[in-house]
Amino acid sequence: MIEQFDGVELMDSGHVACPGCGGALALKLALRALGEKTVLVIPASCCAVFAGGFPQTALKVPVLHAGFATTAATASGVRAALDFRGERDTTVVGFAGDGGTFDIGLQALSAAAERGEDIIFICYDNEAYMNTGVQRSSATPYGTRTTTTPGSGWKLTGKKNIMEIMAAHGIPYAATASIAYPEDLMAKIRKAVSIRSGTRFLHVYASCPTGWGFPPQDAVKAARLAVQCNLFPLYEVVDGHRYTINSRGTDRIEAYLRMQTRFRHLEPANLIDIQVQVDEAWQRLRRKAKA
Amino acid sequence: MRQVLEGSQAVAFAVRLARAKVISAYPITPQTHIVEELAKFCADGSLDGRFICVESEHSAMATMIGAAAGGVRTFTASSSHGLAYMHEMLHWASAARLPIVMAEVNRALGPGWNLWLDQTDSLAQRDTGWIQLYCEDSQEAMDTTLQAYLLAETVNLPVMVVLDAFFLSHTFEPVDVPGQAAVDGFLPTFQPKFQLDPAAPCTLYPMAGPAVYMEMRQSLQAAMDRVPAVYARIQDDFAARFGRSYGVVEAFRCDDAEVVLVMAGTTASTCREMVQNLRAQGQRVGLLKLKLFRPFPAEAIHRCLKGVPKVAVVDRNNSAGAGGIFAQELKAALCNRQERPAIYSYVAGLGGRDITTGTLESIYWKTLEAAEPTQDSQWVDVHEELAKS
């Protein structure tokens, strides 16, 4: 049950996201936690579209639309300018999709993290290039069919572990979150805001009815099943090495995979492969968290 | 105060005098001396700015865009491959109408790797919506950088201040460095026309469909169209305060000339000497130095070339398949004029090959003696055997 939110909604309902869009829900929840003293940097992504086209916008905070690869670099520039203007209590937030984080935006993100830029980088991960018609990204998991991994050429390599990459930078805070766990998501964003130094990274699981192939009303269900089967565990990494796990799944992966058409082609043997991968990743994470 | 400065230092001193707040760059020879100097200024506190060491030129320009949208004065510098890597964000900066100033040191693009002077890098960015100003010496580099801020902030367009690799970037010359108070009088504190502000939230650069995009680009064109008049006013004001003026082009001994050589950058200095020498021998030769390249100063060029029968454009650049770029621009600017010179196009001095007074003199004689111009650019001082192999 989500707590009653009586603050100011900074994202209006007039956005143009697909019904059941996990990314739009992620942004709405994030803005509840971020508050009005926020500047958003949005690269090319679904969000660049659903935030609203000129002259309309669904967002009530200042927004800078940025080049695809540039979220973290652009945010660094905004931060530097706000510092000179004495706007220290304004949070600069990059809000990028998985393509703008795992792929084309990774170089600038890594550099900003290494420089210790005082920014929050939120990746809303829908596991492919959805805006352009569901092409695979390096966040697309093993076994997925996309428009560039079609037919029998479904993706045979695993999802890039962006959390480990970001943790390896030794940043003060990295956390996973899910649209199915809004209190946890908002608490993590508030925590990221409160740290006020260094780059803070949030990896938010944002299910996509359009690209994954399930009815819009099942968006939260899909995201919840991913956590409940440990495919997307909720956890935090402080200073790059102190791990805390916030979820503990007990389900197997079948229910999650079988509700999505992107996995419909998988044979029982493939499901076993994926279950093994998920179990191994979960055990590795537990070892890191000593849990 | 007169100081002996490298061209790179002259730019860095100007950026400090302009009180730029956010500087971001990625190192590339021969731009490095500019940014090293500025990093030092930020570190020793003589400039109240932040130097952000980014991991690429693409990110450098993105950081400028973020900072300029955040409402502060910005600076970056690049060259060659770095500028090419920045290309996407050059379009973004101009259409975002952000008054970013960049120094660009002309260097050849590989392969093969070549660190030396070639103008193809900056000229290949001619369609990105940046104002481009070319410099001949260190004093001009300093003065142009100061003027660039006022110009950029008046018309809300980014400005590229272009310097020749090594011949300008790494050459020490005496430079009159203006005092801070005088510069503050010329270039007031930056007052952005818009900025990201939580107290007055707005969205910058959202999706723009067919119903609005074209008008946005037309307004960019209109801003470019204002540049010649605005820059003339700025130069007049600068001249009144500091006693130096450059114009958008400079005609040197073009009166009654039979042949005028046209070029930009340090080659113009070599050409001045050649013109003096030949004039002393009774030859009617002149020099037209291009300073402003974008927007292209067609009116000023037409005025300067009135009555001149032949023009020889010396391009230290080449657009493969189309020839020297300044020549193309000049032809396009003059083709609809009743009175226009015959335009001869020469490609010379690519990748740092020297252009001497002898080179320019041979171009003069070749042009003078030719019956009519060739359609294609003529390549000067090439080793024919090497070119064939």
Tokens linked to B11? 């730019």
- Among left, alpha and beta (phi > 0; psi -120 to 50; other), residue B237 is alpha
- Please choose, from the candidates A86, A79, A74, the residue with its C-alpha nearest in 3D space to the C-alpha of residue A48: A74
- What average pLDDT does the structure give for chain B? 98
Residues in chain B: 389
Q: How far is CA B164 from CA A51, A95, B122, B384, in A?
A: 44, 40, 11, 26
* Cβ-Cβ contacts under 8 Å for B361 (sequence gap 6 or more): B274, B277, B278
B112 Cβ under 8 Å from any chain A Cβ = no
- Co-location of B175 and B31 in the same domain: yes
CATH number of the domain residue A85 falls in: 3.40.50.970
Residue B377 pLDDT > 80: yes
* Cβ-Cβ contacts under 8 Å for B75 (sequence gap 6 or more): B15, B18, B20, B22, B23, B38, B64, B100, B101, B102, B103
Residue B26 pLDDT > 60: yes
CA quadruple B71, B158, B25, A46: dihedral positive or negative? positive
A46 Cβ under 8 Å from any chain B Cβ = no
Are residues A44 and A239 in contact, defined by beta-carbon separation less than 8 angstroms? Answer: no
Task: Name the residue type at position A60.
Answer: K
Look at B66 and A65 and tell me if their CB atoms are within 8 Å: no
Backbone angles phi, psi at B372, to 5 degrees: -155, 160
Backbone angles phi, psi at A40, to 5 degrees: -100, 135
DSSP string, A16-66: -PPTT-HHHHHHHHHHHHH-SSEEEEE-SSHHHHHT-BTT--SB-S-EEE-
Please identify which residue in the block is written with the tokens 């010329």: B186
Tokens linked to B3? 């100081």
In a domain, A141, yes or no: yes
In a domain, A13, yes or no: no
Q: How many CB atoms lie within 10 A of CB A8?
A: 10
Edge-first strand order for the sheet with A235-238 is A242-245, A235-238, A173-178, A200-205, A120-125, A91-97, A38-42, A63-65, B203-204
pLDDT for B61-88, tens place per residue?
999 999 999 999 999 999 999 999 999 9
- Co-location of B346 and B314 in the same domain: yes
**Rounded-to-integer distance, Cα B283 and Cα B261, Å:** 13
Are residues A271 and A248 in contact, defined by beta-carbon separation less than 8 angstroms? Answer: no
Q: How far is CA B59 from CA A27, A51, B181, in A?
A: 25, 24, 33
Question: What average pLDDT does range B23-47 have in this prediction?
Answer: 98
* Cβ-Cβ contacts under 8 Å for A194 (sequence gap 6 or more): none
Q: Which domain holds residue A151?
A: 22-289
- Co-location of B227 and B272 in the same domain: no
Query: Which among B201, B224, B242 is the end of a domain?
Result: B242
- Co-location of B226 and B304 in the same domain: no
pLDDT for B248-285, tens place per residue?
999 999 999 999 999 999 999 999 999 999 999 999 99
**Rounded-to-integer distance, Cα B74 and Cα A77, Å:** 9
pTM: 0.97
In a domain, A12, yes or no: no
- Co-location of B210 and B311 in the same domain: no
- Co-location of B216 and B257 in the same domain: no
What's the distance, Cα to Cα, between the start and end of chain B in Å?
53
ipTM surpasses 0.95? yes
Query: Which among B209, B242, B275 is the end of a domain?
Result: B242
CA quadruple B293, B294, B296, B301: dihedral positive or negative? negative
- Co-location of B343 and B237 in the same domain: no
The minimum CA-CA distance between B313 and chain A, rounded to whole Å, is 37
Residue in chain B nearest A62 by alpha carbon: B201
B198 preceded by cis ω (within 30°)? no
Look at B52 and A76 and tell me if their CB atoms are within 8 Å: yes
CATH number of the domain residue B264 falls in: 3.40.50.920
A87 Cβ under 8 Å from any chain B Cβ = yes
Please identify which residue in the block is written with the tokens 């045979």: A156
- Co-location of B180 and B280 in the same domain: no
Strands of A179-214, DSSP E: 200-205
Burial of residue A76 (CB within 10 Å: 0-12, 13-18, 19+) is buried
pLDDT for B190-249, tens place per residue?
999 999 999 999 999 999 999 999 999 999 999 999 999 999 999 999 999 999 999 999
Closest CB from B65, B92, B197 relative to A77: B65
Q: At what angle do helices B138-155 and B7-17 cross, to 10 degrees?
A: 40
Closest CB from A48, A59, A66 relative to B62: A66
Residues in chain A: 291
Tokens linked to B196? 């990201």
Look at B62 and A73 and tell me if their CB atoms are within 8 Å: yes
What's the distance, Cα to Cα, between the start and end of chain A in Å?
27
Burial of residue A2 (CB within 10 Å: 0-12, 13-18, 19+) is exposed
Q: Which residues does residue B361 pair with via DSSP β-bridges, in sequence order? A: none
**Domains in chain B, number:** 2
The minimum CA-CA distance between B58 and chain A, rounded to whole Å, is 8
In a domain, A248, yes or no: yes
Q: Which domain holds residue B186?
A: 2-242
In a domain, A17, yes or no: no
Tokens linked to B13? 């001193």
- Co-location of B256 and B121 in the same domain: no
In a domain, A244, yes or no: yes
- Please choose, from the candidates B263, B254, B384, B377, the residue with its C-alpha nearest in 3D space to the C-alpha of residue B326: B263
Bridge pairing between strands B249-252 and B285-290: antiparallel
Q: How far is CA A72 from CA A28, A94, B360, in A?
A: 21, 6, 49
**Rounded-to-integer distance, Cα A108 and Cα A46, Å:** 20
Give me the pLDDT at residue A1, please: 45
- Co-location of B255 and B144 in the same domain: no
3-state secondary structure chain B: CEEEEEHHHHHHHHHHHCCCCEEEECCCCCCHHHHHHHHHHHHHCCCCCEEEECCCHHHHHHHHHHHHHCCCCEEEEEEHHHHHHCHHHHHHHHHCCCCCEEEEEECCCCCCCCCCCCCHHHHCCCCCCCEEEECCCHHHHHHHHHHHHHHHHHHCCCEEEEEECCCCCCCEEEEECCCHHHHHHHCCCCCCCCCCCCCCCCEECCECCCCCHHHHHHHHHHHHHHHHHHHHHHHHHHHHHHCCCCCCEEEECCCCCCEEEEECCCHHHHHHHHHHHHHHCCCCEEEEEECEEECCCHHHHHHHCCCCCEEEEEECCCECCCECHHHHHHHHHHCCCCCCCEEEEEECCHHHCCCCHHHHHHHHHHHHHCCCCCCCCEECCCCHHHHHC
**Rounded-to-integer distance, Cα B1 and Cα B316, Å:** 34
* Cβ-Cβ contacts under 8 Å for B367 (sequence gap 6 or more): B259, B310, B312, B344
**Domains in chain A, number:** 1
Give me the pLDDT at residue A3, please: 59
- Co-location of B25 and B121 in the same domain: yes
Query: Which among B216, B242, B268 is the end of a domain?
Result: B242
CATH number of the domain residue B170 falls in: 3.40.50.970
**Rounded-to-integer distance, Cα B169 and Cα A272, Å:** 63
pLDDT for A149-175, tens place per residue?
998 889 999 999 999 999 999 999 999
Q: At CA B261, angle to CA B280 and CA B146, rounded to 5?
A: 105
- What average pLDDT does the structure give for chain A? 97
Are residues A118 and A196 in contact, defined by beta-carbon separation less than 8 angstroms? Answer: yes
CA atoms in the 13 A half-sphere facing the CB of A190: 9
Closest CB from A54, A72, A81 relative to B67: A81
Between A and B, how many residue pairs show a Cβ–Cβ distance under 8 A?
A: 160
B160 Cβ under 8 Å from any chain A Cβ = no
Look at B198 and A37 and tell me if their CB atoms are within 8 Å: yes
Question: What average pLDDT does range A225-250 have in this prediction?
Answer: 98
Look at B66 and A54 and tell me if their CB atoms are within 8 Å: no
The minimum CA-CA distance between B201 and chain A, rounded to whole Å, is 4
B27 Cβ under 8 Å from any chain A Cβ = no
In a domain, A2, yes or no: no
In a domain, A5, yes or no: no
Report CA A110 to chain centroid distance, whole Å.
16
Look at A62 and B202 and tell me if their CB atoms are within 8 Å: yes
Q: Collapse the DSSP code of A14 into the 3-class scheme (helix H, G, I; strand E, B; otherwise coil) and give the result.
A: coil
Please identify which residue in the block is written with the tokens 């200024």: B41
